[in-house]
A and B are shown apart, each in its own frame.
Chain A
């Protein structure tokens, strides 16, 4: 690495970024912190509450429910998307004319604006006019995602899988493509079975890439808001009210800013903690 001899001019380049980040992220964040430790009845009157809001949140059964719902959702998502993504990446050709075609196909779902995704699936799954909804009902399955909680869950999960598996595919594919041919040739010579090739060569070589994929999917799915909100609005009832949807309801619906502020911060720390633990564990053996 280049050991720079002192160059103070470099700070000038950073200032615009600092300003932007401060405006968009730091100051709003400080506002949230402000709200989370104080109480207000409007008119800019603030009373110091200390950790009261935090205790409130942590003891609130509503929070526990949406937290568990969120965990269940993220868990399901990861369990489906990661293996599926790897499988699709393995099936994609590594050389030849079809490579570009496959890559473009995989990239398409990622290009669609998120609320459009939600709206698409909403219409797609409507039991009377949607292709999926109508077909399922025609087959005799009693399907209505606006009323049945199981149907709502399955539809939400399906939507997310359709939307985001491509990301895992593309990342895993990049990892696979970087494995030199010699490894496959050596495996052939050693008489290794396809499973052994996957378990002993491909998966270990994809470790870094998969770590990133899992981290990204964890963070995004844990923070998910737009798609399920447009699809189900959090319903029926609150069966698909995930953590962020709940947070917005409290903050903007009930205008319970203190509670919401504390909840935001707790939410943030959970994501940070899990990500950090996961990353450290995965990278501990790398030089």
Chain B
């Protein structure tokens, strides 16, 4: 188990045409606690795999330090760092049986067979692979092979952290959630530090206790799934997390009050709006927008009149796309709710409406 500390980490793979180093990682400072489950979430090219490889030792960073439990491991090779990694494509030793695959890391380190056998059996049971132990590893399905990859990491009792690089990429969609639940279950049982890289928000939010959202080589926000959902610090986070993502709408400062196309909007921000600078936007999630009940709220000044463009019935809820003055807004309507057809109006929940200046949240 290890506490991982990243100090001023920067990495560049090469130079741009201007001669300046092209940084894949711009500057990362983070502390990941022992036994926690973390997800590095971000779109392709944001630097998450680079960061993962630096932590596991497969890549040496151009600048900065990686510290495991007060030991500077920046230049230490992978085999000495006691980490395990599961890759995007299942990596198994084709010529060996499942049992031998799982035993491989232990045998390489010189453990006696009397220790290897019970440990392999224990891990195989945890991963539900006991029936396949005698089969040749090459014959298993993709999810079986990924389990073997995972197992090779778990057999080592001294493993300090396990890294996952988009491990569910090749898994059949119908089986993804099973493997995801298995990973979470294992984490709860074994308490090993697990770091999971993905571009899929459901995977990240489901698996991790803390999600690290990355964009363009920087960590934009770190927080629990709830924090990221309710309080995105950057419009990128608001948009990236949630399906559909947060509605980001342009706002104006009308004498110290926030307005959207002329309608006054109350936000959760407590800042002094007179002194506010920069491009203003409001962010509101589709879950927190509702139609105004004609009977009771007819005088609600912040109700916005809209035109309904599309209704998508998804069974458990409906996604309604509406338009107000050329701006498209999406809101989520519960299953049984019938959408008003005569001059519909919507309101934003003021506690959940966030104010952004130059894309960063204004508290």
Check whether chain A touches chain B (CB < 8 angstroms): yes
Contacts from A to B (Cβ < 8 Å): 180, 182-183, 185-186, 188-193, 196, 200-201, 204-205
Contact B78 A204 (CB under 8 A): no
Given contacts A180-B89, A182-B87, A185-B87, contact A190 B58 (CB under 8 A): no
Contact A186 B87 (CB under 8 A): yes
Residue in contact with B96 in the complex, picked from A183, A189, A200, A205, CB distance below 8 Å: A200
Q: Which among B77, B78, B109, B149 has the greatest number of chain A C-beta atoms within 10 A?
A: B78
Given contacts A183-B91, A188-B77, contact A193 B85 (CB under 8 A): no
Q: Which residue of A lies closest to B165 (CB)?
A: A182
Contact B108 A188 (CB under 8 A): no
Contact A188 B79 (CB under 8 A): yes
* Residues of the B chain whose Cβ atoms lie less than 8 Å from the Cβ of A200: 93, 95-96
Is B350 an interface residue, CB under 8 A from the partner? Answer: no
Contact B94 A204 (CB under 8 A): yes
Contact A186 B149 (CB under 8 A): yes
* Residues of the B chain whose Cβ atoms lie less than 8 Å from the Cβ of A185: 58, 78, 85, 87
Residue in contact with A182 in the complex, picked from B78, B89, B105, B108, CB distance below 8 Å: B89
Q: How large is the interface on B (under 10, 10 to 19, 20 to 34, 35 or more residues)?
A: 20 to 34
Q: How far is the CB of B234 from chain A (nearest CB, A)?
A: 32
Q: Which residue of B lies closest to A182 (CB)?
A: B87
* Residues of the B chain whose Cβ atoms lie less than 8 Å from the Cβ of A204: 93-95
Given contacts A200-B95, A201-B93, contact A190 B88 (CB under 8 A): no
C-alpha spacing A182/B89, complex, angstroms:
8
Contact B105 A190 (CB under 8 A): yes
Is B23 an interface residue, CB under 8 A from the partner? Answer: no
Is B56 an interface residue, CB under 8 A from the partner? Answer: yes
Given contacts A182-B91, A183-B91, A200-B93, contact A191 B105 (CB under 8 A): yes
Q: Which residue of A lies closest to B59 (CB)?
A: A185
Is B48 an interface residue, CB under 8 A from the partner? Answer: no
Given contacts A182-B89, A196-B108, contact A188 B58 (CB under 8 A): yes
Given contacts A185-B58, A185-B87, contact A190 B95 (CB under 8 A): no
Contact A190 B104 (CB under 8 A): yes
Q: How far is the CB of B106 from chain A (nearest CB, A)?
A: 9
Q: Which among A186, A192, A204 has the greatest number of chain B C-beta atoms within 10 A?
A: A186
Is B285 an interface residue, CB under 8 A from the partner? Answer: no
Question: What are the nearest 10 A-B pairs in CB distance?
Answer: A191-B108, A182-B87, A186-B91, A190-B105, A188-B78, A200-B93, A191-B79, A204-B95, A185-B58, A182-B91
* Residues of the A chain whose Cβ atoms lie less than 8 Å from the Cβ of B104: 190, 192
Contacts from B to A (Cβ < 8 Å): 56, 58, 77-79, 83-85, 87-89, 91, 93-96, 104-105, 108-109, 149, 152-153
C-alpha spacing A270/B93, complex, angstroms:
36
**5 residue pairs from A and B, CB less than 8 Å apart:** A182-B91, A186-B85, A188-B78, A189-B78, A191-B109
Q: Which residue of A lies closest to B53 (CB)?
A: A185
Contact A190 B152 (CB under 8 A): yes
* Residues of the A chain whose Cβ atoms lie less than 8 Å from the Cβ of B84: 189
Q: Which among A190, A201, A204 has the greatest number of chain B C-beta atoms within 10 A?
A: A190
Q: How far is the CB of A195 from chain B (nearest CB, A)?
A: 11
* Residues of the B chain whose Cβ atoms lie less than 8 Å from the Cβ of A192: 104, 108
Contact A190 B108 (CB under 8 A): yes
* Residues of the A chain whose Cβ atoms lie less than 8 Å from the Cβ of B77: 188
Q: Which residue of A lies closest to B81 (CB)?
A: A189
Q: Which residue of A lies closest to B88 (CB)?
A: A182
Given contacts A200-B96, A204-B94, A204-B95, contact A189 B85 (CB under 8 A): yes
* Residues of the B chain whose Cβ atoms lie less than 8 Å from the Cβ of A190: 104-105, 108, 152
* Residues of the B chain whose Cβ atoms lie less than 8 Å from the Cβ of A182: 87-89, 91
Q: How far is the CB of A242 from chain B (nearest CB, A)?
A: 37
* Residues of the B chain whose Cβ atoms lie less than 8 Å from the Cβ of A180: 89
Q: Which among B58, B85, B91, B108 has the greatest number of chain A C-beta atoms within 10 A?
A: B91
Q: Which residue of A lies closest to B152 (CB)?
A: A190
Q: How far is the CB of B171 from chain A (nearest CB, A)?
A: 16
C-alpha spacing A185/B54, complex, angstroms:
12
C-alpha spacing A204/B94, complex, angstroms:
8
Q: Which residue of B lies closest to A185 (CB)?
A: B58
* Residues of the A chain whose Cβ atoms lie less than 8 Å from the Cβ of B152: 186, 190
C-alpha spacing A180/B89, complex, angstroms:
9
C-alpha spacing A154/B334, complex, angstroms:
87
C-alpha spacing A200/B94, complex, angstroms:
8
C-alpha spacing A183/B85, complex, angstroms:
11
Q: How far is the CB of A257 from chain B (nearest CB, A)?
A: 51
C-alpha spacing A188/B78, complex, angstroms:
7
